[in-house]
Amino acid sequence: MAKLTLVGLGPGSIDLVTPAARDAIESADVVAGYKAYVDLITSLIDKQEVIQSGMTREWERAAAAIDAAAEGKSVVLVCSGDSGMYAMAPLVLELLQQRNPELPAVELAIIPGITAANACASLVGAPLGHDSCTISLSDLLTPWEVITKRIEAAAMADFAITFYNPRSKKRKSHIETAQQILLQHRAPKTPVAVVNAAYRDDQGVMLSTLDSFTSLEFGMNAAVLVGNSNSYYFGDWIVTPRGYKNKYQLETGAVLSGQKRGHSLNTATAEQQGEAVKARQEQGEKAGELV
């Protein structure tokens, strides 16, 4: 059966392309992808046929890749990051179903990659150390009302957030609206990182805070990472704690009085646990306004 493999390249540098992705690309008959992504892997392309297309031409890329696979060729469709996150996997599945409603007519495989949230976070510490979400600010395919409701929910429930597609020439105000929504729930000095083109030649990392990051220069290739209510700066690193201070003495690793290793956090002994748990509880109460 014809074979189509969706390959996540990761953020862009060749040393973050997994061996599984590399093998799939090197052994393919055809490599399809958005031109900027194919350019990232020219070192892996030799005799393979290349199908490239421009931005907003996802349909053409996906259809051409499926056509080539249906002709019996071994095809890889490359995406930056992970193919399943704001990328080509859903569209490929939709087109395969359109052509053959019961079962895919080509054998499909998916090789995961490092998505932008994790790549960008690694450059600034641990901003996504606890529960987090990703929200795309592009309204090309999603109503803006749906996007703003998701921002509100994430703000209220205190998720750390990675904004994908934070800004484009036609879409300058979206990130400012997101900022205003978040400022209703988080402190002005909440750490924010803006990472441009992570792990590419033109990489840029900017550290800022919730009240002022929108004055920075960034565009579509950037991701904007916003900490939660417990996040803080330590030097140039952003830390979003997992909550060890709720249960352990950081000096010695000893379990705090009233707590038990391997058991649920005892929230009744909050007084003994210092500020950390109190902060968490206030945050819980704030999230409680949701219901």
Among positions 85-144, residues that touch a second copy (CB under 8 A) are: 85-86, 89-91, 93-98, 102-104, 108, 110-115, 118-119, 121-123, 125-136, 139-144
Q: Taking the complex as a whole, how short is the minimal distance between the CB of residue 215 and a second copy, in angstroms?
A: 24
Which listed residue (212, 242, 257, 274) binds a second copy by CB under 8 A? Answer: 242
Tell whether residue 280 is a contact of a second copy (CB under 8 A).
Answer: yes
Query: What residues contact 199, with CB distance under 8 A and at least 6 apart?
Result: 10, 11, 12, 13, 16, 119
- CB closer to a second copy, 217 vs 234: 234
Residues 17-36 that bind a second copy (CB under 8 A): 17-20, 23
What would the x/- binding string for a second copy be over residues 159 to 198, using CB under 8 A? Answer: x----------xx---------------------------
Stretch that binds a second copy, among 31-39, 41-49, 215-223, 245-253 (CB under 8 A): 245-253
- CB closer to a second copy, 46 vs 101: 101
Q: Taking the complex as a whole, how short is the minimal distance between the CB of residue 267 and a second copy, in angstroms?
A: 5
Q: Which two tokens stand for residue 209?
A: 């805070």
Q: What would you report as the CA-atom Rg of the chain, rounded to the nearest whole angstrom?
A: 22
Q: Taking the complex as a whole, how short is the minimal distance between the CB of residue 119 and a second copy, in angstroms?
A: 5
Tell whether residue 1 is a contact of a second copy (CB under 8 A).
Answer: no
Angle at 271 between CA 267 and CA 275, to 5 degrees: 90
- What spatial distance separates the first Cα and last Cα of the chain, rounded to whole Å? 51
Tell whether residue 43 is a contact of a second copy (CB under 8 A).
Answer: no
- CB closer to a second copy, 215 vs 263: 263
What is the rounded distance in angstroms from the CA atom of residue 165 to the CA atom of residue 240? 23
49-53 vs 74-79, strand pairing mode: unpaired
Number of residues that bind a second copy (CB under 8 A): 109
Tell whether residue 12 is a contact of a second copy (CB under 8 A).
Answer: no
The Cβ-side half-sphere exposure at 223, using a 13 Å CA radius, reads 27
- Residue 198 contacts residue 170 (beta carbons within 8 Å): no
Report how many helices (DSSP H) and strands (DSSP E) the chain contains, helices first: 8, 13
Distance of CA 284 to the CA centre of its chain: 25
